[in-house]
Amino acid sequence: MASPIIDAVAVTSRDIGRTVAFYRRLGFEFPDFGPQDRHLEAIAAPGAVRLMIDTHELAAELNGAEPVPANHAQFALLYDSPAEMDAAVAALADAGETVVTAPFDAFWGQRYATVADPDGYRVDLFAAL
């Protein structure tokens, strides 16, 4: 039996437009969407892990319970350089988004930060030092 692979990561959103804007600031691209859309996927290269965004209501319907964002990172984003990661964090901060842990040089050899999306999902950002 083949080992499973991570194909997609999903978050929920109470405001799709704001959530898409947040993830665009981190470098994701999305197709055009409208107010009727309840599920979106970032444009990804073939074989890459996909980022999916579902409305809060859709997630509740699918799961039979209200979604509750975790208080720890759900996924981590690797950047090419510490400067690129710092710029992503700065763009979020400038837009009024929440920076949970400001960028720092971690003892394990990475530039590291944690941000929270508009619904409270934590996202780690990192780059090799």
Q: Which domains does the chain have, with CATH numbers?
A: 8-63 (3.10.180.10), 73-128 (3.10.180.10)
pTM (2 decimals)? Answer: 0.89
CB under 8 A, 24+ apart: contacts of 71-74: 71/120, 71/122, 72/122, 73/114, 73/122, 73/123, 73/124, 74/9, 74/11, 74/121, 74/122, 74/123
Confidence of residue 70 (pLDDT cuts 50, 70, 90): confident
Burial of 54 (0-12, 13-18, 19+ CB in 10 A): buried
What pLDDT digit, counting tens, does each position of 20-39 carry? 999 999 999 999 999 899 99
Does residue 72 have a pLDDT over 80? no
Average pLDDT rounded to a whole number, residues 8-17: 94
* Sheet hosting strand 122-128, strand order edge to edge: 73-78, 122-128, 110-116, 98-105
What pLDDT digit, counting tens, does each position of 50-65 carry? 999 999 999 999 989 9
What pLDDT was estimated at residue 77?
94
Does residue 73 have a pLDDT over 90? no
